[in-house]
Amino acid sequence: MAEAAGKVWHGGDLAQAKALFPEAPEPWIDLSTGINPIPYPVPALPLSLWQRLPGVRDEAALLAAARETYRVPETAGIVAAPGTQILIELLPCLANTGPVVVIGPTYAEHAVAWRKAGMDVRESATPAEAGDAGVVVLVNPNNPDGRVIERAQLTAVARDLAGRGGLLVIDEAFIDFMPEASLIPELPPATLILRSFGKTYGLAGLRLGFAIGEARLTEALRAALGPWAVAGPALHIGAQALSDTDWLAAAAGARASDAARLDALLASRGVIVGGTSLFRLLATPDAPALFAHLGRDGIYVRRFQNNASWLRLGLPGDEPSWQRLAAALASFLPPDAA
Amino acid sequence: MAEAAGKVWHGGDLAQAKALFPEAPEPWIDLSTGINPIPYPVPALPLSLWQRLPGVRDEAALLAAARETYRVPETAGIVAAPGTQILIELLPCLANTGPVVVIGPTYAEHAVAWRKAGMDVRESATPAEAGDAGVVVLVNPNNPDGRVIERAQLTAVARDLAGRGGLLVIDEAFIDFMPEASLIPELPPATLILRSFGKTYGLAGLRLGFAIGEARLTEALRAALGPWAVAGPALHIGAQALSDTDWLAAAAGARASDAARLDALLASRGVIVGGTSLFRLLATPDAPALFAHLGRDGIYVRRFQNNASWLRLGLPGDEPSWQRLAAALASFLPPDAA
């Protein structure tokens, strides 16, 4: 089960699963990400979207849809990028006073990006422990444990940071199904909020993400990205999907049911730490053995570099996958029981 | 005909054309870019390309195809990005000793990106005038005039720059139809070469570009982009198209014929400065009047911020467009003849 040393682990690459478990039955069931397995239906794409440089009007339509759905205040800025990840890479251009405190454990690439930029980065369990940070970064709801920090607490942190010229970064990648928790509508000063398109809409391959905040922040990111950053098809699909509030509401309900079903399957296998409607985090000392057991059955789940007792599971996308997962979980013999 | 002051002009946005000439007949004929009007046929795309995070294997397949077609030396590095533009934005992270000399006039975004990074940028007409530059940037063949700098001269410039820790950037965005001019196969030290996918393959909306050079340079760009930079569909279409040498050869021949046909149409309207098989540059004191005349006829061509006597024309994509262009050129009355 070797992986490249020094590399940040991620879910979502089945080539890796196949390398780890070459004998596993196909097709693989990929539960290693928090991507909605029932995607927004990809509409027919006019050839011109592929042919032409992405147009200003197409981008404006996408941003208008995002403003509406994310409830972006009129005075705030918004910028679209080819995935949230590249925005994370660019965030260090927005701040030059550290230290950077990442509230974690959380999505590992945040700390990586700030360290790459030469900033001093440390991890705190809560924003209250961030001390004299110049930058506070948190994921809300958090990945992988689903913890939600209340808006009032976030606003206080933002005000505090604004007072000393700092920056609060809130990655709301998994908030679409619980929009009432978003800080966007009351956007505090010195705050930049990231939103991801691909997870909720099940289209992670399309690459689309957003940053929302004071215009000086979003304009700096826009300048760093340069023109035509988002592909034409992504502008088009994103605008259509983000305007489809009926789809979002239906998906929120369906995925919440799925998450409850997953919890029921996992309950006898450990403690469900938390999660969102797109993934659940299981804690058990048997995690390494369960990872291997599921892998040998062709089911790829997410393990963690810094916590060997955690496994994160996304949602199966069809009934046969649910059945295979249920059977695999039922047939697991913990090492000390074997 | 106002445009936002301080903005770099580009072709390719018909919304702008429509704003300039609201009475023009539809459909517009967009000749304002150097994008092949006959695109590589977009293959059917498995839904999984949209759904899943772009996989390591998909990216490896794309890079292998690019290495083969671009004849990248085995020891050189290559990195793919969502468009060449974002690579241009990131280039300043590769060098910190100026001044930056851009061989021009050329594609304006090169100078913009280096200036944004706080570097001292100046323009020279030839590499021989680059003097003590820390970075030399050139487009080969050049946009908009098509000038080609010979490989021997480029190699000498590279060697010179390498000797003082500098960097040579060669943007080969328009070289696909004349691969013998590319410096990639003999990649000199301290040289980074950019290749664009969307122009030759007529799929600019897909966003795909490459940087090729010493691994230390391409790895720095890869780190700056972060994981999953290129969308799944772009990886797939790019790999297929770049492997299709028959298509490339046929397109090269067809576009060369088109370019000759365009030259014949333009010959009586001014001096054809040069160009590539995807665009031609016309010089005439009547350029502003001709731009407006064509615009009123629904034909959008490229004019230039710093040279009012230039117009660049891309290739019409079908016979009705050729006929409309021919008729519009024939009906033009130069101002002093009117």
Looking at residue A299, what is its pLDDT?
98
Q: Which residue has the tokens 């936002």?
A: B4
**Is A52 in Cβ contact with B83 (below 8 Å)?**
no
Helix (H) or strand (E) holding B85: helix B84-90
Is A104 a residue whose pLDDT tops 60? yes
Cα A314 to Cα A302: distance, rounded to the nearest angstrom: 9
Determine the residue among B52, B112, B206, B321 to mutate to test chain A binding: the one whose Cβ has the most chain A Cβ atoms within 10 Å: B52
Q: Within 13 Å of residue A117, how many CA atoms lie on the same side as its CB?
A: 23
C-alpha–C-alpha distance, residues A68 and A287, integer Å: 42
pLDDT digits (tens, 9 = 90+) for A65-93: 999 999 999 999 999 999 999 999 999 99
Q: Which residue has the tokens 């404006």?
A: A60
CB contact under 8 A, A55 and B15: yes
Q: What separation in angstroms does the CA of B179 have from each of A80, A240, B209, B252?
A: 35, 40, 16, 11
Relative to beta strand A271-276, strand A279-283 is antiparallel
Task: Indicate the residue of A35, A86, A223 with minimum beta-carbon distance to B229.
Answer: A86
**Please, which pLDDT band fits residue B10 given cuts at 50, 70 and 90?**
confident
What sign does the CA torsion over B196, B201, B202, B208 have? Answer: negative
The rounded distance, in Å, linking the Cα atoms of A175 and A179 is 6
- Tell me the chain B residues in contact with residue A48 when contact means C-beta distances shorter than 8 Å: 205
pLDDT exceeds cutoff 70 at A108 = yes
Best mutation target, A52, A199, A203, to test chain B (most B CBs within 10 A)? A52
Pick from B48, B204, B229: CB nearest A52: B204
Of B109, B230, B233, the CB nearest to A226: B109
Residue B10: list chain A partners with CB under 8 A: 53, 227
Q: Which residues in chain B are contacts of A109 at CB distance < 8 A?
A: 226-227
Rounded CA-CA distance A137/A168 in Å is 6
Instruction: Answer left, alpha or beta for residue B240, where phi above 0 means left and psi between -120 and 50 means alpha.
Output: alpha
CA distance A235 to chain B (A): 10
Using 50, 70 and 90 to split pLDDT, how confident is the model at A333? Answer: very high
CB contact under 8 A, B54 and A205: yes
Nearest to A85 among B12, B42, B228 (CB): B228
**pLDDT score, position B98:** 85
Residue A19's closest chain B neighbor by CA? B57
Cis before residue B179, ω within 30 degrees of 0? no
Contact residues on chain B for A47, CB-CB shorter than 8 A? 39, 42
Alpha-carbon distance of B163 to B166, in angstroms, equals 7
pLDDT of residue B2: 36
Q: In this structure, are residues A268 and A294 in contact, taking their beta carbons and an 8 Å threshold?
A: no
Considering chain B, what is the average pLDDT of its residues? 95
Residue A280: beta bridge partners? A275, A313
Query: Is 90 exceeded by the pLDDT of residue B9?
Result: no
pLDDT > 90 fraction of chain A, expressed in percent and rounded: 90
Looking from the CA of B311 toward its CB, the CA atoms found within 13 Å total 27
pLDDT at B5: 44
Find the residue in A nearest to B109 (Cα): A226
Collect all residues of chain A within an 8 Å Cβ-Cβ radius of residue B12: 52-53, 55
- Length in residues, chain B: 338
Tell me the two tokens of residue A20.
């780890």
Distance CA B78, CA B209 (A): 10
Q: Under a CB-based contact definition with an 8 Å cutoff, are residues B102 and B306 in contact?
A: no
What is the structure's pLDDT at A11?
Answer: 84
Q: Do A226 and B85 touch (CB under 8 A)?
A: yes
Q: In the predicted model, is pLDDT for residue B244 greater than 80?
A: yes
Lowest mean pLDDT among A127-136, B5-14, B27-36, B291-300: B5-14
Residue B11 pLDDT class (50, 70, 90 cuts): confident
Question: What's the pLDDT band for B327 if we cut at 50, 70, 90?
Answer: very high
Q: What are phi and psi of A90, to 5 degrees?
A: -90, -15
| Sheet hosting strand A279-283, strand order edge to edge | A271-276, A279-283, A307-314, A302-304
Determine whether the interchain pair B53/A223 forms a contact, defined as Cβ–Cβ distance below 8 Å.
Answer: no
The residues with which B77 forms a beta bridge, in sequence order, are B213
Q: Judging by beta carbons within 10 Å of its beta carbon (0-12, 13-18, 19+), is residue B57 exposed, middle or buried?
A: middle
Question: How much of chain A is helix, strand and coil, in % rounded to 5?
Answer: 45, 20, 40
User: In which region does residue B195 sit, left (phi positive, over 0), alpha (psi from -120 to 50) or beta (all else)?
Assistant: beta
Chain B residues whose beta carbon lies within 8 Å of the beta carbon of residue A52: 12, 14, 30, 35, 204-205
Q: How far apart are CA B21 and CA B126, in angstroms?
A: 37
Judged by CB atoms closer than 8 Å, whether chains meet at B82 and A229 is answered as yes
Residues A19-42: tens digit of each pLDDT: 999 999 999 999 999 999 999 999
- Compute CA A60 distance to the chain's CA centroid, rounded to the nearest angstrom: 24
- Cα dihedral sign for A230, A235, A241, A244? positive
| Chain A neighbors of B321, CB-CB under 8 A | none
| Average confidence (pLDDT) over B128-145 | 95
What is the tens place of the pLDDT at every residue in A126-151? 998 998 999 999 999 999 999 999 99
Read off the amino acid at residue A239.
Answer: A
- What average pLDDT does this structure show over A260-288? 97
* Sequential DSSP letters for A75-95: TSEEEEESSHHHHHHHGGGG-
Residue of B nearest to A49 (CA): B205
Interchain contact, A85 vs B229, CB within 8 Å: yes
User: Residue A159 pLDDT > 50, yes or no?
Assistant: yes
> To the nearest whole angstrom, how far is the Cα of B337 from the nearest Cα of chain A?
36
What six digits make up the tokens of A201?
């809409």
List the alpha helices (DSSP H) in A71-150: 84-90, 109-116
A203/B50 touch (CB, cutoff 8 Å), yes or no: yes
Write out chain B residues lying below 8 Å of A227, CB-based: 10, 85, 109
H/E segment holding residue B123: strand B121-124
Instruction: Say whether B225 and A35 touch across the interface (CB within 8 A).
Output: no
